[in-house]
Each structure stands twice: as C-alpha cells, then as structure tokens.
Structure 1
Amino acid sequence: MTTIRTTGIRRGSLITAVLALICSAFLILPANADPVPFEDCGQGVLCLYDGSGGTGTRLDVAEGGKDEQYTGTALSVQNNTRMWACVYGKGRYGGSLQTVKPGNDDEYVTGGTRWIVASYKLVPTRALCFTGYERCENGKVCTFAERNGRGAMTVHVPAVDPATQNLGNSYGAETAPESVWNRTGRHLCFYLEPDYTGTWTEGTQAYGAYVVLRGDSITLPSSLARAFRSHELVNGTSECQ
C-alpha cells in the first residue's frame, strides 16, 4: 500500500510540472506580434507602398516593369527583383534619381518631407538608370528635354520644308533638345534658327551646324543645350548649311 501511494504522488508532481511549463510558454508568446517591414512583398516584384516603412496599400511591379507617368503615391519601396529599380522625381525618367539595389528597400519620407516618385523603371544594370535613350525606336530621330536621353521625349517625323527643301523639322523652345539619338541612316545637322540657319562662335571659329552622325546618341554641350530650333537629315556632313 505504501508503494502505491508513493508512485501516485510522483505522477501527480510530474503532471503539475508539465502544466506549469505549458502555461509559462503561453505567457511569453506575444499576443500581437508587430509585422516585419516589407514582409508582404513577394519574390520577383518591386513593391511600392503608399505608406512609409512598407505600410499602406501596395502596388506590385513585375521585373522589367516601368511607368513614365506614375500618378500614385509611393512613400517606400521594396525591390525583390533581380533588377535595379530606378525611381525619378519627375515624369518620363526626369528630375532627381534614386536607385534601389536588388533585395533592398528605400524610404521616401525623411523628417516629414516627402520625395515625389513620378516615374520608375526596372533595368538590368544601375548604369541604365541614368539614361532614357532606349525609348527611341529604330529609324527615328528622338530629342530629349534632359541630359542622357532623360525627360520628355519628342519623336521627329522628317518632312520636306516647302521653302527650303530641307528634309527635317523645326520646333519651338518647348521642345528644344538637351540630348538626342539619331537612329536613322542619315547624318543630322542642328541649327539655331527654325529656318535651318544661324551661327555661333567658339573662340575664333564660327559654326553654322552641329552634326550628330547616323546611329549616334549624344548630350549636347552645355552652351548649346536647348538652343537649337531645327534640324535636317543629310547623306553627307558637307550638305549641312
């Protein structure tokens, strides 16, 4: 009889100890764990959030995605793609630039100041964030409002001027270029005046045309940026005015 009572006491003590451990385990678990920032962003996408720290409404952008005129709100991003994310302060890849490495996040509210996200694109290398020439189609002359093919792009369709017989285009100050890609099979001659004329001087040398060879893309010198008002396509550079 004594042996049976002793066994019963030990079993009861063991059950009590196990219950105590289970209860203590529940006590140390948090009732509502705070979410990890950006944890809801899936693999292979760029996630744009309208709140800081990966909060708020999320927009998923697949690899290679882009938007030249983003009208949403992006206060933070997570880049879970294999590409670089290029984020711009103005539309059409213009203005200030932020780059986000694959696997990294970025924040666009600092000290209460919001950094505007107006356009973005995903590209294979960081260097491609600094250019926008790729928008120009083969066979076209494309001029850009900013350096390196960034900013608003104008695609020119050459026409024969009835007065001058020049094959090209004239335009106003609002579309005057800062950079250009000549993707045609002809050379390109830029002029200061809308009628394919005008000269400027560098040192003692006077010039009447600025030439962009066939297939070349170039940022114009700062002294000539947004100064040209017309251009023509020619077979040889000697045909420039």
Structure 2
Amino acid sequence: MIINRTHIRRGWLLAAVLALFSAAFVVLPANAETVPFADCPAGQFCLYDGSGGTGTRVDVAEGAKAERDAGTILSVQNNTRMWACVYSRTEYGGGLQTVKPGNPDEYVTNGVRWTVASYKLVPTRALCFTGYERCSDSQVCTFAERNGRGAMTAFDDPPTGPTPHHSYGPEVPSASVFNRTGKHLCFYPNATYDGSWTDENTKTTYGAYVVLRGQSVTVPNPFAGTFRSHELVNGTSECQ
C-alpha cells in the first residue's frame, strides 16, 4: 500500500489552522458595549442632552452653577468631589434632585422628562436646599420660595446713613428673606410703611414683621407674600 505523504502533510496543516482559528474564537473577547457616562472626565460634572449619557456632552468644573438657561439636560454624571444640585425651575426653584459625587442621574423615566432648569455644585448636600448665598453683603433680599430659593429681588441698602425705605408692588416675592445689612429690617403690608396683620388662630395683631440684622428666614403665614414696603432701623422699637 502506497501512502501519499503529501496528503498527510496537507491534512495536518489544515487541522492546525482550524485549531488556531478555534483558539482565537475562544480567547478573543466579544466587542464590549460602550459603558454609559464613561466619557465623562475626572473632576467634571457632565451634562448630556440624551438619556443614559448619550448625545452632546457639556462639562463643567467643581463649583459651577447655572441659575437659568441650563439647556436640554436628560442625564448627568457627577465626577467631581462636590454634590450636584439639579432644579426643575430657574434660580434654584421647584423640584430638587441631588447627585452624589461619583454618581450618574437620569431625567427621563418611562418616556416622561423631568425638566432641568438650573443647577449648582456645592460642598455639602444641605446647601442644595437653600439659595441664600446669592444675596450679597449690605443687601436685603426676598425670594419667591422657601429657604432662599426661586426668583430673588435684591435691595441695596447701606448699613449706615439715613434710614433707607423701599416700597413695591405684589410682584416682589417674599416667601423667604435674608437681611445682610447692619440694621434691623421692618416689613409692612402697605406701600406707605404701615398697616397690620392679624393671626386668625391667635387673634394677635402685628404692626410689622421684623428680620434682625444678619438673619435669614422663611416667612410664615400670615406674612408670606404680603410685604409691600420695608425700612431699616437701628432698633426694633423704631418699626412703625
């Protein structure tokens, strides 16, 4: 019997090649899917106009803020050391979402979009719940929402000199107040620096609502939203 060694060699080579291909398919991993938010750089708060970290990305550094015109934001990744505070209204108003350092967040759930209108990055989560820091030194500031959040109106009242007076209409928000002046603050229900409030529960009448110098406060009923004028005084006994 004559053995064809050429055929044997070819068969051995073919078997070796097939073995190599098989090994390659076993060893080589399948193409991994893109990890959501993986493109967000370290030290940045990344804002995406698509859900799941997709679409156009905007990066902002620690301490950044946008009180309005935040743009279309459907998802975020917080790769900073700070807490991210995300609000549904401008000027830190409306609903609030907090994003822990190193975490992502999503603003489309079951096809429903949660509007992002403003945001800020702060050292502690507690600072997400207030907006008093916007009020500058020597100002009286009133806010549309509790805890210094929402639209702010600022009055530049110097702490020295003649007693400043301001009167205004109902468009000035006053759900909360920060008195950053060196004088005490007297609010009135009338534009003429007078008038009174009556607490329906206690039947107590108040001639002025007082905010002491350096104090911030969420205004309770029956005072909230009713201020029409204010003045700064050296002593609370000077309130009308």
Class of the TM-score when normalised by the shorter of the 2 chains: 0.7 to 0.9
Cα-to-partner distance string for 1:35-66 (whole Å, 9 max, x where unaligned):
11111011111111000001000010100000
Partner of 2:84: 85
Is 2:37 the partner of 1:34? Answer: no
Residues 1:220 and 2:223 are matched in the alignment: no
> What amino acid sits opposite 1:223 in the alignment?
P
Partner Cα distance (2:92, 2:25) in 1:
56
8 Å CA contact retained: 1:52, 1:107: yes
Alpha-carbon deviation of 1:17?
A: 7.3
CA contact (8 A) 1:157 1:169 kept: no
Quote how far apart the aligned CAs of 1:199 are.
Answer: 0.7
- Residue in structure 2 matched with residue 196 of structure 1 by the alignment: 193
State the 1:16 CA deviation.
4.5
**Aligned-partner SS, 1:89:** strand
C-alpha RMSD of matched pairs (Å)? 2.3
Q: Describe the SS at the equivalent of 2:95.
A: strand
Match of 2:53 in 1: 54
**CA distance, structure 2, for counterparts of residue 77 and residue 42 of structure 1:** 12
Q: Structure 1 unaligned runs (5+)? A: 160-164
Q: What's the offset of the Cα at 1:71?
A: 3.9
C-alpha distance in structure 2 between counterparts of 1:23 and 1:129, whole Å:
53
Query: Does the residue aligned with 1:128 lie in a helix, a strand or coil?
Result: helix
The alpha-carbon distance between structure 1 residues 72 and 176, as it changes in their structure 2 partners (threshold 3 A), is: closer
**What is the letter of the counterpart of residue 101 of structure 2?**
P
- Percent identity of paired positions between Structure 1 and Structure 2: 63
Matched ranges for 1:1-241 at <5 A: 16=17, 19-25=20-26, 29-30=29-30, 32-158=31-157, 167-202=164-199, 203-241=202-240
Distance change in 2, residues 1:13/1:204 (3 Å): closer
- The one-letter amino acid paired with 2:167 is S
Cα 1:71–1:128, aligned 2, differ >3 Å: closer, same or farther?
closer
Q: In structure 2, how many angstroms separate the alpha carbons of the residues matched to 1:42 and 1:75? A: 18
Please, what TM-score do these two structures have when normalized by structure 1?
0.87
SS in 1 for 2:171: helix
Which amino acid counterpart does residue 164 of structure 2 have in structure 1?
L
Paired residue total: 227
CA distance change for structure 1 residues 175 and 14 in 2, over 3 Å: closer, same or farther?
same
Identify if the C-alpha distance between structure 1 residues 157 and 172 changes in structure 2 by more than 3 Å, giving closer, same or farther.
same
Q: Distance in 2 between matches of 1:12 and 1:56?
A: 50
TM-score of the two chains, using structure 2 as the length reference: 0.87
Rounded to whole Å, the distance in 1 between the matches of 2:64 and 2:95 is 20
SS of 2:105's partner is strand
Q: Displacement, 1:13?
A: 9.4
1:111-132, CA deviations, whole angstroms, 9 ceiling, x for partnerless residues?
1111100000000111000000
CA deviation string 1:87-122 (max 9, x = no partner): 000000001111111111111011111110000000
Q: Which amino acid aligns with 1:172?
A: G
Counterparts of 1:176 and 1:40 in 2: how far apart (Å)? 42
Match of 2:178, as an amino acid? W
- Give unmatched runs, 5+ long, in structure 2: none
Question: Which deviates more, 218-227 or 129-138?
Answer: 218-227
Give the AA of the match of 2:29: L
CA distance in 2, matches of 1:222, 1:68: 28
Contact 2:167 2:191 in 1 (8 A): yes
